[in-house]
Amino acid sequence: MNKKRTNYFVAILNLLVVITIYIVYFSTDFLKWGIISSPSGSQTIYDSVIVNILVQNAQPILVSVCMMIGILNIVCAIQNKQNKKICFWQFIFGIDAIIWIVLNVLNLTNTDLQLAIDISVYAAFPIILAIKNLICIKKNQPKAIQIVSYILTIIVSALIIFDIINPYWNIICIIMQFIYIHFQDKYIQESKTRRIVNVILYYIIQAIISIGIFVMVIGAIIINQVNTNKMSGQVEEILNNVANLSGITNEEPYSVVEKDSKYGFMNEQGEETILCDYDRVSYFYSTDIHNQKCYFALAAKENEYYIISKNNQKVNISDNVYFRNIVDYVENQMIKYIEDEMTNTTNHDIDYFSINAYSFALQALIMSKTSIDIQRFPEDTFYNEINLQTNHTESYEDLKLYYENENFTMTIELMETDYSEYNMDTKCEVTIKKNNGEENSNIEYLPGLNQYTHTLEVLNDESIVYKTLDEQYGWYNLNGDKVSLASGYEINNIINDIIIVEKYDEEKNQTEYYFLDESGNILLKSYDVLSILENTFVVRNEENKMFICDQNLNNISDEYDLIMLP
């Protein structure tokens, strides 16, 4: 049997570990702030050794701590086997710590197996031990605290079984340890060998583990708080300087363009508003500074870093330590990982990724002080949604939907019987009845149909897309005429009488877009790229160059290696 002082010391260290774990649990979001991650690893932008160790090794550290604390408590319980009450609660605490390790190492969260372990370890097993100890209490020497504790164990375990409370056994175990240690005989003596063993196990090993993890977590929180306040002040100063830049309130959206491995910006009219002169750039973002909406981007040139306005006015942020940590991580971990580790990566893929990585760097810096939003182009909607009339039946089997315009009426009769979930490939009998009396019916799919909301997605000119049972696409035009596409082609959109269709080329592993007139003549072809804006198209030609054309398909911009819309 261990001395009362030793058991108290073990219980205090147990309490310290539990407090540390709950501090980590409730401070997770705060501790995560400032962490930047990529497939190659994670680190903090504050470049703190303690925080980096905790962030990069959080799970193995906690697993190791819980494993050691669990084993030491089971050893201590065995040493205290003469006092069944202390032995019971130390043993349960040790088992609780080891089970937590099993659940985390084997990643058994949110599974039936975890539920079974929770019930057996946190509930059924303690009930069995508590009943056994109740039976073993000497009838002539019962203590109220003994009876109450075992009854409490049975009640709490039952509540856990019925999922009324969470299995916070560690807290209950420590409370009960303190209670029973308080009633322990203080005159118990330990042998010299036992004293040496206990000093090594509890006063050295467990103390180092418990106090060490506590100091590490508290130190990480303090370091995070100090650096967060400092970084927030520096970013506020940067934003004050940014607010004074010329063109900072310009609302016109810009796309990123690349030419000869240099980056710049272009507007929707095809004008290169900021010359391709930078080594790296981000998208433009917006935030409120001094009650005005400001738009800015991150740009890098010759190892100097700037926040720029749409007039290309600059604020140099190269000397900001926190930003340097961010951009070093972006360059040396994120972008380098894509360049070195990812297979089948093209130069365009790396360009796309680098722009997104620098956009991430800008967000990581500014969001320490305020939120920012990416500025997007207003894209033309591919589809419009129309409401269909119904025959007002409550049965899906008898449901009929109707669409009517000035030239024809469409009746849609659902032929599927399984409506358990939304399915864009619901087989329908589609009947077209024109105003001249002509009528025809077909069994096909309407990809834009939602049988639950009684709506139908149509193209920009309100043409209705269909798909035949043998996977061929086409559309019903505004006159109710059925227009079919060749096998392998899909309708993309119809804009200003220009028909856009697409086809996937398996040999080239790319999608090809065709701009057709009403007679089916090819007006323009785009390779693997198509962005439809309000008044323009972004396309790529056969030479792998990108440009902007207007709605008459006239080229209105220079050719670029890359045009990337946010």
| Residue 535 resides in a domain | no
- Together in a domain, 107 and 194: yes
Contact indicator for 338, 350 with CB cutoff of 8 Å: yes
Residue 417 CB-density burial (10 A; 0-12 exposed, 13-18 middle, 19+ buried)? exposed
| Residue 231 resides in a domain | no
Q: Which of 161, 193, 225 is the last residue of a domain?
A: 225
| Residue 445 resides in a domain | yes
Q: Which of 343, 374, 405 is the last residue of a domain?
A: 374
Kindly report, residue by residue over 224-269, the tens digit of the pLDDT.
888 888 888 999 999 999 999 999 999 999 999 999 999 999 998 9
Q: What confidence score (pLDDT) does residue 182 get? A: 82
pTM of the model: 0.72
Q: What confidence score (pLDDT) does residue 93 get? A: 86
- Give 498-501's long-range contacts (Cβ < 8 A, gap of 24+): 498/523, 498/551, 498/553, 500/530, 500/532
Q: Is residue 140 over pLDDT 60?
A: no
Q: Is residue 422 over pLDDT 50?
A: no
The residues, ordered by sequence, that sit 6+ positions from 410 with a Cβ below 8 Å of its Cβ are 402, 403, 404, 430, 431, 432, 464, 476, 480
| Residue 233 resides in a domain | no
Q: What confidence score (pLDDT) does residue 452 get? A: 79
Q: Which amino acid is at 268?
A: E
Q: Residue 550: how many CA atoms within 13 Å on its side-chain side?
A: 5
**Tokens for 371?**
């939120």
Contact indicator for 285, 295 with CB cutoff of 8 Å: yes
Q: Which of 430, 453, 485 is the last residue of a domain?
A: 485
- Together in a domain, 123 and 188: yes
Name the average pLDDT for the chain.
83
| Residue 218 resides in a domain | yes
Query: Shortest CA distance to 285 belongs to which of 242, 232, 335, 327?
Result: 242
Distance of alpha carbon 89 from alpha carbon 80, whole angstroms: 11
Q: Which amino acid is at 478?
A: L
- Together in a domain, 354 and 387: no
Domain count, the chain: 3
Q: Which amino acid is at 196?
A: I
- Together in a domain, 370 and 400: no
Q: Is residue 197 over pLDDT 50?
A: yes
Kindly report, residue by residue over 373-415, the tens digit of the pLDDT.
999 987 655 678 889 998 876 666 678 899 999 999 999 988 7
Question: What is the Cα 23 distance to its own chain's centre?
Answer: 24
- Together in a domain, 363 and 481: no
- Together in a domain, 204 and 93: yes
Q: What is the CA radius of gyration of the chain?
A: 34
Contact indicator for 4, 185 with CB cutoff of 8 Å: yes
| Residue 232 resides in a domain | no
| Residue 130 resides in a domain | yes
Distance of alpha carbon 139 from alpha carbon 128, whole angstroms: 20
**Mapping DSSP to helix (H, G, I), strand (E, B) and coil, where does residue 201 land?**
helix
**Tokens for 317?**
């942020």
- Together in a domain, 203 and 75: yes
Contact indicator for 189, 152 with CB cutoff of 8 Å: no
- Together in a domain, 270 and 197: no
| Residue 397 resides in a domain | yes
Domain of 250 in residue numbering reads as: 244-374
- Together in a domain, 386 and 353: no
Kindly report, residue by residue over 144-186, the tens digit of the pLDDT.
666 666 676 677 667 666 665 555 667 777 877 887 888 787 7
Q: Minimum mean pLDDT among 4-8, 30-34, 38-42, 419-423: which range?
A: 419-423
In the block, which residue shows the tokens 């130069």? 347
Q: Minimum mean pLDDT among 200-214, 302-316, 387-401, 463-477: which range?
A: 387-401
- Together in a domain, 61 and 201: yes
Contact indicator for 515, 525 with CB cutoff of 8 Å: yes
- Together in a domain, 198 and 263: no
- Together in a domain, 451 and 306: no
